Structure 1
Amino acid sequence: MTTYDDRASLTDLTTTAERVRRSVEGVIEGKPEVVRLSLTVLLAEGHLLIEDVPGVGKTMLAKALARSIDCSVRRIQFTPDLLPSDITG
């Protein structure tokens, strides 16, 4: 059963998600589907692998998303000799 608090929380979540979406779309123009899917992954607490050709804004998308939720971004350049310990410490 849905209570008032549940509906209020859902409204707050929707408002916040919309604000983040508008913020990221202000930086990443012309790719609303990419922004929507990225936000969906963020809300689902999943992992996002961004793959595309060079120069299309992958790093910019990650930075804009992070700035919108007051987080930081760490970029990892994968190489054939990269080990898990190189990432996790």
Structure 2
Amino acid sequence: MADFEKTAYEDRIFGFDFGAKMLRSAKLVSIEAVVIARQSGVDVEPLTESERAVSNKRAQAKFSGGDAGASYTITVKVTDSDGQKLEGEAMLDVVEL
């Protein structure tokens, strides 16, 4: 999974690629959960997630808020058309412009 960066002001959509964990014929069916854990920095404005979607082997969600200087671990849990339950993890850093 990739690592991401955004400012506290931005509402951004980030994609998570599960292709390496899936059979070639499989497609993502749903996002079961998106778990956000703050790793560093202050916790005044939480990072939030909304607008989930899946397309082929990619999951995506929109992220809002967060505090400048904070880092968050994002864990995405999905199910594919073969019935596999998969999860991936990425870091999101909230930066100042």
Q: TM-score range by the shorter chain?
A: under 0.3
Ranked by relative contact order (alpha carbons within 8 Å, sequence separation 6 or more), the top structure is 2
More strand by share: 2
More helix by share: 1
TM-score w.r.t. length of structure 2: 0.26
Structure number with larger C-alpha Rg: 1
